[in-house]
Amino acid sequence: MTAHTPETSGKTYSVTRTDEQWRAQLDPQEYHVLRQAGTERPFTGEYEDTTTEGVYACRACGAELFTSSEKFSSHCGWPSFFDPKDSDAVELLEDRSLGMRRVEVRCATCGSHLGHVFEGEGYPTPTDQRYCINSISLTLRPTQA
C-alpha cells in the first residue's frame, strides 16, 4: 500500500469534515485510501469482479460516481470504468507522486481519493479510458428489480 499526501485542488467541496470527523467515520483502511490517497492491494477489493447492476457511490459521502453500465473487466486488479456517471461527478488532478505522472480521480463532492484514470491502453470501450478505482472507495447500490 502506498500513500501520498493529497495536493489541494483549491476547490471548495459541498461535503467537508475535519480530519478527526473523517477518522471517526471511516475505518483505518478506508481513511488511508480515501483521505490519504492510498491504494488497496490489487485483486483484493470486493467490486473487482462483481457484475451486479447498480450505482457505485463514494464510500465517504454517498455521491453517485459510476454505474455498472460503465464498468468493464480490465483484469488489472481493481474495478475499472470507462466513464463516470456524470462528467461532474469526479474531479481529475495531476498526480506526480511516486516519481510518475498520472491523473488522480477524486470525488467532486467531498474530495476523497478514488483512484487514477489512464488513456490509450487499447481496451475496447467507447472512451479508451480506464478509471482504475479502489473498491474500498466505493459502495455499490444494486438496482432494484
How many domains does one find in the chain?
1
pTM: 0.89
Residue 126 covered by a domain: yes
Name the strand (E) or helix (H) holding 25.
Answer: helix 19-25
Q: Active-site residue 132, yes or no?
A: yes
- Domain hosting residue 69, numbered range: 19-42+52-142
Is 14 contained in some domain?
no
What is the chain's length? 145
- Of residues 58, 61, 110, 132, which has the active-site annotation? 132
88 in any annotated domain: yes
The Cα–Cα gap between 48 and 127 comes to 20
Flag whether 5 is in a domain: no
**CATH number of residue 106's parent domain:** 2.170.150.20
* pLDDT band at 73; cut points 50, 70, 90: very high
Domain contains 98: yes
C-alpha–C-alpha distance, residues 32 and 109, integer Å: 18
Query: What confidence score (pLDDT) does residue 95 get?
Result: 77
Q: Is residue 6 part of a domain?
A: no
pLDDT tens digits along 125-135? 999 999 999 99
Q: Is residue 73 part of a domain?
A: yes
Task: Tell me if 7 is assigned to some domain.
Answer: no
Mean pLDDT, to the nearest integer, of 50-74?
Answer: 96
